[in-house]
Amino acid sequence: MARMPRRALALLLAAAAVRAADPAVALNEEGLAHLAAGRAEAARKAFEAALALRPDAEAPRRSLAAALVLLAEEKRSGGDLGEAIRLLERATRLHPERILYRALLGRVRLEGGDDALLAAARADFEAVLEKDPDHLEALMRLGEIAYLARELDVAVARWRRALELRPGDAEILRRLAKAEREREVERSFGEIPGPLFLVRHSPKITPARAQEVLVLCEEARGRLAALYGSYPPRITVTLYTPAEFRSATLLHGWVTGVSDGTIRLSLGSRDDPASLGPTIRHEMTHHVIRALAPKAPVWLHEGLAQIEEGRSAEKAEQRLRGTGELRDTLLSAAILREEDPRRVALFYDATLAFTRYLDDGQRGAIQRMLRDLGAGKDEAEAFREAFGDSREILFERWKSGLR
């Protein structure tokens, strides 16, 4: 066996002597070994012990911050955003120079979504930009926060800068074009602020009519919040004339509402605001579900939204009986990108009828699926645990009742 060079042996012996003489160093190295092996909690305990022995030492403080970030990701993946935020807050205090940690904190706060967390996330990303004016994620997130607040000038400015850093990026171009288009339409819109909603309205829609819509929104939110146990933060609702709605959204003339982080509605000059009730309930359902389970599948979104809108599942089933062979793949959101309107209509009928079949009237099983999706489970696992079988099997069972 080859002998170790004397110098290398001397260095190893010296390092061992340092560890023996300084338990904090030994604990820090133990923590680093745990961290390298992915044992974040064990690493945290070792770094905490090292820091207790040497409160002013830089190495265990930075090492502890890294362990806390890994633990925060575990908590976030498990749906515990509150604990993830607390861990990341401490990590940023321990290692304030590490702007990655501040960006991660802003990202998780943004997932939380309520007004206080959105304000804190804005502060996080602005702090990141102070240290790195070209930080792409901070620019994109600040644009997103401004867009949700309908601060469209700010959103446009942030996304234009992001585009300078990444020319030709399709997602940035899409967001920027959308915000610029909406800004042009909404320049002179009025506002009715409230604790639960900010209603923005065209100058062609009187404040009195906008106030009527606000009441309908409050009623829909109250019902859905009680039904799902989810209380979304303050929602911005924008009211357009039909022509303004088409200019802002580029959607078909028959579409009267959209939920995309805000709620936007089309109100004609002769329409009774109460006629928007079904559309408001539909779009509000999307908003509540998105707050509860951001990754909820489109078929469930549309099924529940149509139920709340008051559409008839029985009539949908009648139409489906004449379509020939029905398959579970009919629930695929990819159908919405097809040009054949008949296929799109089948998708909506299938999502409505199948979701009604799954609904127990109290939304118990559906709520469980949404909670599990919000906690990070995939659709197949969340569905099976909520309903006791796979979606494919229950789809076949539902389909057999149509014959």
Is the pLDDT at 120 greater than 80, yes or no?
A: yes
- Cβ distance 135 to 128 under 8 Å? yes
Above pLDDT 90, what percent of the chain?
Answer: 61
pLDDT given for residue 251 in this prediction: 87
pLDDT given for residue 292 in this prediction: 86
For residue 3, what are its two tokens?
């002998």
Eight-state DSSP code of residue 329 = G
Q: Which fold has domain 188-281?
A: Glutaredoxin (3.40.30)
Average pLDDT (206-224) is 94
For residue 242, what are its two tokens?
């039909």
Average pLDDT (384-394) is 94
* pTM of the entire predicted model: 0.79
- Cβ distance 86 to 113 under 8 Å? no
Three-state DSSP state, 151: coil
Per-residue model confidence as pLDDT tens digits over 89-114? 999 999 999 999 999 999 999 987 67
∠ CA 273-284-177, nearest 5°, is 90
pLDDT given for residue 17 in this prediction: 41
For residue 345, give Cα distances in angstroms to 207, 231, 323, 328, 352: 36, 31, 11, 15, 11
Per-residue model confidence as pLDDT tens digits over 347-383? 999 999 999 999 877 688 999 999 999 888 899 999 9
- Cβ distance 181 to 244 under 8 Å? no
Eight-state DSSP code of residue 166 = S
Cα 3 from Cα 7, distance rounded (Å):
11
∠ CA 105-108-112, nearest 5°, is 130
pLDDT given for residue 10 in this prediction: 47
User: pLDDT band at residue 401, thresholds of 50, 70 and 90?
Assistant: confident
DSSP 176-235: HHHHHHHHHHTTT-EEEE-SSEEEEE-TTS-HHHHHHHHHHHHHHHHHHHHHHT-----E
Q: Cβ atoms within 10 A of the Cβ of 84, count? A: 27
Domain chopping of the chain, boundaries = 18-95, 99-185, 188-281, 293-403
Per-residue model confidence as pLDDT tens digits over 121-132? 999 999 999 999
Largest alpha-carbon pair distance within the chain?
95
- Cβ distance 95 to 61 under 8 Å? yes
The phi and psi torsions of 138 (rounded to 5 degrees) equal -60, -40
For residue 245, what are its two tokens?
């709605």
Sort 37 into a burial class: Cβ within 10 Å, 0-12 / 13-18 / 19+: exposed
Say whether 99-185 and 18-95 share the same fold: yes
- Cβ distance 99 to 128 under 8 Å? yes
Strand partners, 341: none
Cα 238 from Cα 266, distance rounded (Å):
9
Residue pointed to by tokens 């070792």: 46
pLDDT given for residue 5 in this prediction: 62
User: pLDDT band at residue 12, thresholds of 50, 70 and 90?
Assistant: very low
pLDDT given for residue 44 in this prediction: 92
Average pLDDT (199-209) is 96
Closest CA to 62 of 23, 102, 32: 32
CATH number of the 18-95 domain = 1.25.40.10
pLDDT given for residue 20 in this prediction: 45
Is the pLDDT at 321 greater than 70, yes or no?
A: yes
pLDDT given for residue 148 in this prediction: 87
CATH number, domain 99-185, options 2.60.40.60, 1.25.40.10, 1.10.3720.10, 3.90.1150.10: 1.25.40.10
Per-residue model confidence as pLDDT tens digits over 362-371? 688 999 999 9
Is the pLDDT at 277 greater than 90, yes or no?
A: yes
Dihedral angle at the C-alpha atoms of 12, 13, 14, 19, nearest 10 degrees?
A: 90
pLDDT given for residue 271 in this prediction: 85
pLDDT given for residue 134 in this prediction: 96
Average pLDDT (216-223) is 94
Is the pLDDT at 155 greater than 90, yes or no?
A: yes
Average pLDDT over the chain, rounded to whole? 89
Average pLDDT (164-174) is 97
pLDDT given for residue 6 in this prediction: 59
Is the pLDDT at 45 greater than 90, yes or no?
A: yes
Above pLDDT 70, what percent of the chain?
Answer: 94
pLDDT given for residue 3 in this prediction: 53
Residue pointed to by tokens 């489970």: 377
pLDDT given for residue 81 in this prediction: 87
Angle of helix 152-165 relative to helix 170-185, nearest 10 degrees, comes to: 160
Element (H, E) at 315: helix 313-321
